[in-house]
Amino acid sequence: MSITIKTPEEIAKMRVAGRLAGEVLDYIGPFVKPGVTTGELDRLCHDYMVNVQGCVPAPLNYAPPGYAPYPKSICTSINHVVCHGVPGEKALKKGDIVNLDITTIKEGYHGDTSRMFLLGEPSILAKRLCKVTLECLWLGIAQVRPGARLGDIGHTVQHHAERNGFSVVKEFCGHGIGSHFHEEPQVLHYGKAGTGPVLEPGMIFTIEPMINAGKAAISELPDGWTIITRDRSLSAQWEHTILVTETGHEVLTLSAGAPPRPVFGA
Ligand code: MF3
Ligand code: CO
Ligand code: CO
Fill in the amino acid letter for 153: I
Per-residue pLDDT reduced to its tens digit, 148-184: 999 999 999 999 999 999 999 999 999 999 999 999 9
**Ion ligand 2: residue ranges with CB closer than 5 A:** 112, 206, 208
Q: Please report, to the nearest 10 degrees, the dihedral formed by the alpha carbons of residues 241, 225, 66, 49 taken in order.
A: -50
Per-residue confidence (pLDDT) for residue 126, from 0 to 100 = 98
Per-residue confidence (pLDDT) for residue 25, from 0 to 100 = 99
- Expressed in angstroms and rounded, the spacing between residue 165 Cα and the centre of ligand 2 is 25
Residue 174 forms beta bridges with which residues? 187
> With bands split at pLDDT 50, 70 and 90, how would you rate the model's confidence at 264?
confident
Domain ranges of the chain: 8-251
23 with 255: CB under 8 angstroms? yes
Per-residue pLDDT reduced to its tens digit, 61-71: 999 999 999 99
The architecture (CATH level 2) of 8-251 comes to Alpha-Beta Complex (3.90)
Per-residue pLDDT reduced to its tens digit, 69-111: 999 999 999 999 999 999 999 999 999 999 999 999 999 999 9
**Ion ligand 3: residue ranges with CB closer than 5 A:** 101, 112, 239
- Taking CA 218 as the corner, what is the angle to CA 116 and CA 130, rounded to the nearest 5 degrees? 20
> With bands split at pLDDT 50, 70 and 90, how would you rate the model's confidence at 265?
confident
Give the SS3 label for residue 13: helix
For ligand 1, what atom is nearest to the CA of residue 86?
11
For ligand 1, what atom is nearest to the CA of residue 101?
1
Q: Which ligand is nearest to the CA of 22?
A: 3
Check: pTM over 0.85? Answer yes or no.
yes
- Expressed in angstroms and rounded, the spacing between residue 101 Cα and the centre of ligand 3 is 5
- For residues 213 and 164, what is the distance between their CA atoms, to the nearest angstrom? 9
- For residues 255 and 244, what is the distance between their CA atoms, to the nearest angstrom? 19
Please report how many Cα atoms fall inside a 13 Å half-sphere around the Cα of residue 155, on the Cβ side.
12
